[in-house]
Amino acid sequence: MGLRASSAFQTLVALDTYCRQSDRRLPSEDQVVPTVSVVCFALQGQQFAVPFSDIVELLEVPACTRLPRVQSWVRGVANVRGRLLPIIDLAEFAGSRLTTAPKQQRVLVMDMHGVFAGLQVDEVLGMRHFPVDTFVEEVDDCGAISPYLEGGYRDGDKVWGVFRPLRLVSDVRFLSVTA
């Protein structure tokens, strides 16, 4: 073995020794806390979380075609990859207004129980993974959005209310879009 090969081998042996001495084991299964993955969003100055399983897509606000004789909270329909997507202003449905600039606003697309619709919100704040043991049953009153919340996840002093689109699509008022 040449001088260079011997030196490389000695370096690998030293690295192996170092790694074995500072070995940190993976956590045992009982130490792993299960998590729930959510998309966090803002609406009317409040922050909410919606489980990944309840939405199918996130979009920038697409161009919409207004519809005659519908509720004012129905922004219109958009063509999303050949499928007509009704866009619902969630803040206006709740009796308020979106508070951010249009460039920040996003659409949460849901497709459940025969309802394919996009919910326009103030902003998407990103993805989070909350430990399931931080779930709390009670959340602060969030006004007109409260009936569509199901508990929340505690993160320090804050509780992220869990928005459930299934509760929304079960609401007769939401399904009555004609004016």
- Reduce the DSSP state of residue 3 to 3 states and report it: helix
> Percentage of the chain surpassing pLDDT 70?
91
Instruction: pLDDT band for 68, please (50, 70, 90 cuts).
Output: very high
pLDDT tens-digit series, residues 11-62: 888 888 887 777 666 666 566 788 999 999 999 889 999 999 999 999 999 9
DSSP assignment of 95-163 equals TS---S-TTT-EEEEEEETTEEEEEEESEEEEEEEEEGGGEES-----GGGGGGEEEEEEETTEEEEEE
What rounded mean pLDDT belongs to the chain? Answer: 88
Domain boundaries, the chain: 29-175
| CB of 99 closer than 8 Å to CB of 44 | yes
**pTM confidence score:** 0.79
Instruction: pLDDT band for 8, please (50, 70, 90 cuts).
Output: confident
- The superfamily (CATH) of domain 29-175 is CheA-289, Domain 4 (2.40.50.180)
Nearest-angstrom CA–CA distance, 55 and 65: 23
